Amino acid sequence: MAGIGFELRKIYNEDSLFSKQKAYAYAGIVYTGPMLLGILLTAGVVVLTMVAGISENERDYILSNLTYAIIFSLVITSLFSLVVTRFVADMLYEKKFETIIPSFYASSALMLLIGTPLYAI
């Protein structure tokens, strides 16, 4: 995200009439993109369940399961995201590239160990 911020700052500091508006529009698109994808996913599931003829109760059950799966995946990955991102940034700065992939594998394995029992419920 830092790279995006630098590019937005360049656009914001341009000497044109609409540079600030253009920077705000780009920032809005970048930051609302994941939310819009989630809305489209949910709407797509609703349409597919309606086409398949699934009852409203079953549709609500599917949507609640989908919502909880997304919420718990975000919670579990956010536990590791900050720490691993900071570690990778430090290793890139120190040019210790050989430690990056093992940290990815270790954090992925830990997320699987934590997530698998939760998703089985």
CB 90 within 8 A of CB 77: no
- For residues 108 and 88, the answer to whether their CB atoms sit within 8 Å is no
Task: Specify the pLDDT at position 2.
Answer: 55
Q: How far is CA 13 from CA 25, 58, 119, in A?
A: 14, 52, 47
- Distance, CA of 7 to CA of 23 (rounded, Å): 9
Other C-beta atoms lying within 10 Å of the C-beta of residue 107: 19
pLDDT (tens place) for every residue of the chain, 121 residues total: 556 777 777 877 888 888 888 888 888 888 888 888 888 989 999 999 999 999 999 999 999 988 888 888 888 888 888 888 889 889 999 999 999 999 989 988 988 898 888 777 6
* Under 8 Å between Cβ of 49 and 58: yes
